[in-house]
Structure 1
């Protein structure tokens, strides 16, 4: 499990592609790999991956075809930056909300607004996932726990403060980019339960 509090920015050092599998070598900042063991879980842009090898601060991960299909990891290239979070431990402070690291879908950045001292990002998700997105609800974007601002059909926005921009890759985000989305599990359970009871919330196309 993860908390959605991004612990830092890592850099992709190498990507080795094989049939149905890619191996990523990702360098974490100094002092970020203390206590890491083979088999440990680390969220890379919100995707839970398993450490298969370690060389200093560089961790190696394998991503199978299904993971590459459902997430943005298949587009990663050497030199790119990613958000990372090591798995939560019992007793850790939950500053965001509980995440599984299992990506539901991806979203496209459709607009970036830059009022003074903050940034507003607008995203567009596939229509079938809009049913789980509510104003003031939780959502995880590239592994960061964020609060949803406004919702307009299958589009929604989030408001970011300077610290979030500094501590994550959102500081370099651009229109047209694609991000990983993990829907809040409690929201999904409630919506799906109500749907089974006949109180469905139809997905509202833009």
Structure 2
């Protein structure tokens, strides 16, 4: 489990195909000292398992499902990625509950620069918008953000200077695709309503 508070930026060193999947190597000397094979790490919001750690680099094997659902298959050597270690017991929950299980991709369609923030609009599949509400939470490339507006085919967030400077969202441009994970609490609420509503409706009609 993660919080959506990005700890650091890593750099893609290698990204190549392997047995229908992909082998990804990321560099961050400071973080590599604390990692062991088998550890979990969120990379652009995707929970991955570390397979090897050596020379300030850590390796991951990506399955076809991960490549189909996320933007990790688009990564190129030299590009930065958002990194977050799992939440530890006793640590503050600064963002919101983020599982690292990406629901789909959102496309950046508009960006307005203001003095103290950027207002950014994304489009995404309608079935994911159904889980969003204004002032609710969403994770984009692993970054915990508050929703500003939610429309029929798009939603907006604001990015403060710190987020712009310390995450990859600061360099995203029009047409770029980001990993999207909706709030897990909204999934549970919707599922509960889907289960309970038919029986409640039947009782009311009777």
Same fold (TM > 0.5): yes
CA–CA separation in structure 2 for the residues paired with 1:188 and 1:123 = 20
CA–CA separation in structure 2 for the residues paired with 1:76 and 1:164 = 21
CA–CA separation in structure 2 for the residues paired with 1:70 and 1:82 = 17
What is the CA-CA distance between 1:115 and the residue it aligns to? 1.3
Equivalent residue, structure 1, for 2:15: 15
What is the CA-CA distance between 1:93 and the residue it aligns to? 1.3
Q: Deviations over 1:84-118 (max 9, x none)?
A: 10111111111001111010111000100111121
Task: Note the residue ranges of structure 1 that are not aligned, 5 or more in a row.
Answer: 200-206
Task: Note the residue ranges of structure 2 that are not aligned, 5 or more in a row.
Answer: 199-206
CA–CA separation in structure 1 for the residues paired with 2:55 and 2:40 = 17
User: When you count helix as a share of all residues, which structure comes out higher?
Assistant: 2
What is the CA-CA distance between 1:20 and the residue it aligns to? 1.6
What is the CA-CA distance between 1:191 and the residue it aligns to? 1.8
CA–CA separation in structure 2 for the residues paired with 1:81 and 1:98 = 24
Matched residue SS, 1:32: helix
CA–CA separation in structure 1 for the residues paired with 2:177 and 2:128 = 15
1:38-57 paired onto structure 2 within 5 Å: 38-57=37-56
Equivalent residue, structure 2, for 1:93: 92
Equivalent residue, structure 2, for 1:181: 180
Equivalent residue, structure 2, for 1:204: none
Which deviates more, 52-61 or 139-148?
Answer: 52-61
1:1-206 paired onto structure 2 within 5 Å: 1-28=1-28, 30-198=29-197
CA–CA separation in structure 2 for the residues paired with 1:93 and 1:20 = 39
Question: How high is the TM-score relative to the length of structure 2?
Answer: 0.92
Superposition CA RMSD, Å? 1.2
CA–CA separation in structure 2 for the residues paired with 1:183 and 1:193 = 16
Q: Is the 8 A contact 2:32 2:53 kept in 1?
A: no
Matched residue SS, 2:114: coil
Q: Deviations over 1:150-177 (max 9, x none)?
A: 1111211000110111110111110100
Matched residue SS, 1:198: helix
Matched residue SS, 2:13: strand
Q: Which has the larger radius of gyration?
A: 2
